[in-house]
């Protein structure tokens, strides 16, 4: 097994608190509205949305989500420690994606920090533990980050078009 990580930073014109509310707190209702061609629903299977919560993302049957060569039609993650003061969330993928195929485990950390222009910087770090002697290829990790960035940009676009939302 090999451990590794990949990181990305996304700049936004939206304040960190608004992004936090939309992405972390309200994604179960917001994502299916913003990306109905991709996400049919996000349901809470266990918990109250905080630490220990298990969510399941259900993708549309016509457009399953691909991470590399893996087709996902169901995706769940376990929310780890969150901090409103730091606007940070950690979560682990517990089913779907590369889990059980190429990696033993995957965990993510999202941080929302203020930018000098009143917007924000979203920092994403993904850590992997492979099942084999190598990590997923650079192409696969770019695809994972690209999907995360695409969802981030969809929410950012909504917030820019609706300045009163999550204010």
- Residue pair 95/75 in contact by the 8 Å Cβ criterion: yes
For 19-53, write each residue's pLDDT tens digit. Answer: 989 988 888 899 899 988 888 888 888 877 777 77
For 48-89, write each residue's pLDDT tens digit. Answer: 777 777 888 777 776 555 432 222 323 344 455 655 557 888
Write down the domain spans for the chain: 3-161
Can you tell me the mean pLDDT for 143-161?
A: 86
CA pair distance 105, 110, nearest whole angstrom: 17
Second-level CATH architecture of 3-161: 2-Layer Sandwich (3.30)
- What single string gives the DSSP state of each residue in 116-137? TTSSEEEEEEEEEEESSSSPPP
């Amino acid at each position: 097994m090999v451990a590794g990580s990949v990181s990305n930073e996304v700049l936004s014109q939206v304040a960190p608190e608004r992004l936090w509310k939309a992405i972390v707190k309200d994604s179960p209702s917001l994502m299916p509205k913003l990306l109905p061609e991709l996400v049919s629903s996000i349901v809470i299977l266990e918990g109250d949305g905080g630490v220990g919560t298990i969510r399941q993302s259900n993708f549309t049957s016509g457009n399953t989500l691909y991470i590399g060569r893996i087709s996902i039609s169901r995706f769940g993650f376990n929310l780890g420690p969150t901090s409103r003061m730091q606007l940070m969330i950690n979560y682990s993928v517990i089913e779907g994606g590369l889990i059980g195929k190429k990696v033993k485990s995957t965990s993510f950390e999202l941080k929302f920090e203020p930018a000098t222009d009143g917007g924000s910087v979203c920092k994403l770090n993904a850590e992997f533990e492979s099942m084999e002697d190598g990590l997923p290829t650079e192409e696969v990790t770019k695809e994972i980050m690209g999907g995360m960035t695409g969802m981030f940009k969809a929410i950012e676009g909504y917030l820019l078009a609706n300045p009163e939302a999550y204010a």
